Structure 1
Amino acid sequence: IESACGAYPTGLRDSKLLSAAARERLIDPLRGWVSDYAVGEASAREIDQLGLTSALRLAGRRALTTLSITPELIILDGSHDWLSIATESLFDASYPVAEVAPVRTRVKADLTCASVAAASVFAKVHRDQLVSEMARRVPGYDLENNKGYATATHRAALRLLGPSEFHRISWKLPSRVAD
């Protein structure tokens, strides 16, 4: 977000504090406010293969490659810089961007920084759209209601149906009920 962006849209706050409808209503005003934005993804299979932190890095770097601008600074919500590569590793070749702008972490940045709150809204709306598509493709897991979170009905469906292509099998999932 550039200084020329002006005042942030009314109602902007951490996406977790907004209803789904409020997040959706903010998307167009946010698109008009930001210079550019991108949401990166990592599949369940990539998370299982790389681990959560490396998959976050992969998704973040994928997002950076689609931006029309080069950020001067990246602010991450939380205390851990999962975007930078601290040392060379076996997995470095997996990441689509060699260098990133300086990264700063800030605990609860989505509550105190408008650009991070905007990113949280873009990401949450995108995730909700993905989960809605997953619910259509793999019915039976109650994804339209649980949004992929480990509710009792979701865990029961996992026991009955086993994991779908969208479930991370590296996480401890309920055992499937014998046929």
Structure 2
Amino acid sequence: MLEPIYNTSGLVEAGCDEAGRGCLAGSVYAAAVILPPDYRNDDLNDSKQLTARRRYRLRETIERDALSWAVGVVTAEEIDRINILNASILAMHRALDALSVRPEYIIVDGNRFRPYDTVPYTTIVKGDGKFLSIAAASILAKTYRDDYMQAMHEQYPHYGWDRNAGYPTKKHREGLRLHGPSPIHRLSYNLGIEPTLFDEVEKN
């Protein structure tokens, strides 16, 4: 069973997580969630441990039950400019900015973060499997990013994003080899494209 809060001093606590960091294409998404301090939900878990159907069902529950929730987005163009680590943290900061309730403490999945104003924070490795608010944030970030990549698949259908969400699968690599990068590919990543093909795509 996941814990409701990390800090027990009565501070308003927000959990943060991101989705799409390892993808070759598309924006990175992050979410921030503030749950009631006595909140319990045995169905909540790390989004990677849930089926898509359960994630979307839980998204409705989270949005209904949370004291506040928000999603932040950083585009592929921004990722190329500032790198994916900075982009992931920026997406979390943007989600925190959009909360209707100001957090007094922040817990973040992983081991890297940068100060958000003067709010104290703790990074927690595999926090999405330990604390409810981080698990909730992981579900929101994942489902909203999946919605976005489904929409992008309809515009750029060659890469199989409806099934791989931008991750480097065989189908995605094959689409890159045959069609080159789309306008939302992260060009700072190793896309596995021959330089001659890449140069040709850049000229068109």
Gaps of 5+ in 2: 1-12, 14-33
Q: 2: distance between equivalents of 1:148 and 1:107?
A: 24
Q: CA RMSD in A?
A: 1.9
One-letter identity of the residue aligned with 1:130: Y
Q: 2: distance between equivalents of 1:151 and 1:120?
A: 22
One-letter identity of the residue aligned with 2:156: V
**Is 1:132 aligned with 2:150?**
yes
What is the aligned counterpart of 2:167 among 149, 152, 165?
A: 149
Answer whether contact 1:44 1:167 (CA < 8 A) is retained: yes
Give percent identity, aligned residues only. Answer: 38
Q: How does 1:74-89 map to 2 (within 5 A)?
A: 74-81=106-113, 83-84=114-115
One-letter identity of the residue aligned with 1:8: R
What is the aligned counterpart of 1:44 among 76, 80, 92?
A: 76
Structure possessing the higher relative contact order (Cα contacts under 8 Å, 6 or more residues apart):
2
One-letter identity of the residue aligned with 1:64: L
What is the aligned counterpart of 2:92 among 36, 40, 60?
A: 60
Q: 1: distance between equivalents of 2:189 and 2:87?
A: 14
Answer whether contact 1:5 1:33 (CA < 8 A) is retained: no
Residue 104 of structure 1: aligned partner: 122
Residue 95 of structure 1: aligned partner: none
TM-score w.r.t. the length of structure 1 is 0.85
Q: 1: distance between equivalents of 2:104 and 2:177?
A: 47
Gaps of 5+ in 1: 85-97
Q: Which moved more, 1:32-41 or 1:12-21?
A: 32-41
User: Which protein has the bigger strand share?
Assistant: 2
Answer whether contact 2:35 2:65 (CA < 8 A) is retained: no
Answer whether contact 2:153 2:161 (CA < 8 A) is retained: yes
Residue 23 of structure 1: aligned partner: 55
**Is 1:35 aligned with 2:67?**
yes
**Is 1:163 aligned with 2:181?**
yes
What is the CA-CA distance between 1:5 and the residue it aligns to?
A: 5.2
TM-aligned CA distance change 1:74 to 1:61, over 3 Å: same
The aligned length equals 165
TM-score w.r.t. the length of structure 2 is 0.75
Answer whether contact 1:77 1:105 (CA < 8 A) is retained: yes
One-letter identity of the residue aligned with 1:111: G
One-letter identity of the residue aligned with 1:163: P
What is the CA-CA distance between 1:118 and the residue it aligns to?
A: 0.5
